[in-house]
Structure formats: structure tokens, C-alpha cells
């Protein structure tokens, strides 16, 4: 597995992540890590020809750098596997789920994050089999705590992205914060990472209280119960249903 690091950052965290990843998986295409000076640059993956991991210098020099790299390597593996979660067009799902509906722009923006969460579930099914879990749990806890404490100015939207990468954001509307909380609980329960009295549950319930129109339990179930090897139709249906439930309240059979 080839890993090349470009830019003003250390190579060691990415090479360490490569060594861990290679204990169970490999990638056919080379990986180019592009370290960027912009501290606000999100960690995300693209696949123009080879795999490209974009990461800020701040993240690349943080204690989470190896775990972030492992997570992105897992996205790359899912891409090479042609896993439906990584080949399904989010735009197609939005059309199927929301066609003929009047939906606020911010809610459409949030639907991209829901799609990213579903990608992350499948990436982390790989990540959590090969890598350590403590830092990921701490990351989810700190990000959710920041999201519960922080509120954007009126009309401010959470960022949208069709890119692959960690999707918990510290500034978000209460509705998407509740979905983020559901994702965090689903991930830790799917892999038995925490006990029932973990602080994540208190934070998640606080997020749910701020967004009573979003069902924490329903979205947790959606994320947690995603099958390990869905076909394209099954995955599309799951994403359409989640999108429709969030944006328009569900209530209709998902399109295939």
C-alpha cells in the first residue's frame, strides 16, 4: 500500500496508520496525503485517479491524526470495493426522496450530512476492526458536547459536502445535531464501544430535547441496523427513507 505525504506536515501518523490498516486490508491505488495550511480544511477523501486524502496541518499534527487517516483509508477501501454506500449518488437520492416537495434549503443541506453518516458507518465497520477505539469515542463525545453547547446565528447552516470524512460538526442547527447524536450512539452501539452510563447518552438526550421534531431513537436505529452488505437497491431505499423522514417527516413508501 503506497502512501505519499505532500505539504507542511509529518508523514509519521499516516505511515503508522498504513501499517495498522495493512494488518487486515490493502488498497490497490496509491494514496496521496495533501496537508493544507488552512486550519478549517475538513478531512476528506477524493478519488480522481489515485486516492487523495486532504487534511489540515492542524489535524495532521494532532493526536487524532492516525485515527483520522485510518478512517479515510477505510473510505478508500469501500470505494475500491464499489460498496453501494460509496457509489450511490446523493443527488439521485434527494430527487427520489424530495421530488415534488417544498423543503427548506438548510434541511436539504443537512441531508448531505445524513448521507455522509451512512458512508461513515460502513467506513468505520472497517476502521473499528483494525484500529484503537478510545480516541474515536473521545472525539465523538467532545464534538457532540460542543454541538450541544453551541448554537449558530439565525439562518446559519451546517456545511454541506458529498465528500467522504468525519461529519460531526461543532456548529449546527439543533435538528442536525440530534441526528449527529443518533449517529454517534449508533456507531458505539454497533461496535459495543461504551457502557450504558457513558456521557454520550446524556449528551444525546440533551440534543434530542433541543429538537423534539427529530426522533433520536428512530435515526439511531436507522444507522445502527444498516446491513453489512446491502445491494444497490437496498442501500438506496435506506437512504431515501432516512432523507424523507428528516426533510419531510416520512410517511410515504421509499422509491426504488
| pLDDT digit string, tens, across residues 155-166 | 344 444 444 444
Query: What SS3 state is found at 133?
Result: coil
Mean pLDDT (whole number) for 126-137: 91
**pLDDT for position 153:** 41
Q: How far is residue 167's CA from residue 159's CA, in Å, rounded to a whole number?
A: 10
**pLDDT for position 107:** 93
**Angle of helix 232-248 relative to helix 216-224, nearest 10 degrees?**
170
**pLDDT for position 171:** 52
**pLDDT for position 151:** 56
54 membership: H or E segment, kind and range: strand 51-56
| 2-39 confidence digits (pLDDT tens) | 999 999 889 999 999 999 999 999 999 999 999 998 76
Q: What is the pTM of this model?
A: 0.87
More confident site: 159 or 185: 185
Query: Do residues 121 and 190 make contact, with C-beta atoms less than 8 angstroms apart?
Result: yes
On the question of pLDDT at 254 being above 50, the answer is no
Q: For the chain, what is the largest distance between any 2 Cα atoms, rounded to a whole number of angstroms?
A: 51
| 212-241 confidence digits (pLDDT tens) | 999 999 999 999 999 999 999 999 999 999
**pLDDT for position 48:** 80
Residue pointed to by grid coordinates 410517511: 251
Residues of the chain with pLDDT > 70, as a percent, come to 88
**pLDDT for position 47:** 84
Q: What is the average pLDDT value for the chain, to the nearest integer? A: 88
Please state, in angstroms and as integers, the Cα–Cα distance from residue 95 to each residue in 15, 214, 221, 225, 256, following that order: 40, 22, 24, 24, 12
Amino acid at each position: 500500500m503506497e502512501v505519499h505525504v505532500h505539504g507542511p506536515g509529518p508523514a509519521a501518523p499516516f505511515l503508522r496508520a498504513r501499517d495498522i490498516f495493512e494488518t487486515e486490508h490493502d488498497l490497490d491505488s496509491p494514496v496521496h496525503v495533501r496537508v493544507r495550511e488552512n486550519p478549517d480544511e475538513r478531512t476528506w477523501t477524493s478519488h480522481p485517479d489515485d486516492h487523495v486524502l486532504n487534511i489540515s496541518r492542524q489535524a495532521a499534527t494532532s493526536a487524532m491524526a492516525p485515527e483520522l487517516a485510518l478512517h479515510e483509508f477505510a473510505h478508500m477501501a469501500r470505494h475500491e470495493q464499489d460498496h453501494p454506500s460509496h457509489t450511490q449518488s446523493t443527488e439521485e437520492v434527494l430527487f427520489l426522496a424530495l421530488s415534488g416537495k417544498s423543503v427548506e434549503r438548510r434541511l436539504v443541506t443537512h441531508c448531505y450530512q445524513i448521507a455522509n453518516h451512512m458512508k461513515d458507518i460502513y467506513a468505520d465497520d472497517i476502521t473499528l476492526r483494525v484500529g484503537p477505539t478510545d480516541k474515536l469515542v473521545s472525539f465523538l463525545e467532545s464534538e457532540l458536547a460542543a454541538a450541544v453547547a453551541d448554537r449558530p446565528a439565525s439562518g446559519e447552516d451546517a456545511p454541506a459536502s458529498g465528500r467522504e470524512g468525519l461529519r460531526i460538526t461543532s456548529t449546527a442547527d439543533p435538528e442536525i445535531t440530534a441526528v449527529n447524536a443518533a449517529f454517534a450512539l449508533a456507531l458505539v452501539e454497533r461496535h459495543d464501544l461504551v457502557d450504558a452510563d457513558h456521557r454520550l447518552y446524556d449528551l444525546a438526550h440533551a440534543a434530542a430535547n433541543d429538537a423534539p421534531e427529530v426522533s433520536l431513537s428512530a435515526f439511531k436505529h436507522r444507522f445502527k441496523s444498516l446491513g453489512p452488505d446491502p445491494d444497490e437497491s437496498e442501500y438506496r431505499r435506506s437512504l431515501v427513507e432516512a432523507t424523507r423522514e428528516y426533510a419531510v417527516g416520512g410517511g410515504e413508501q421509499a422509491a426504488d
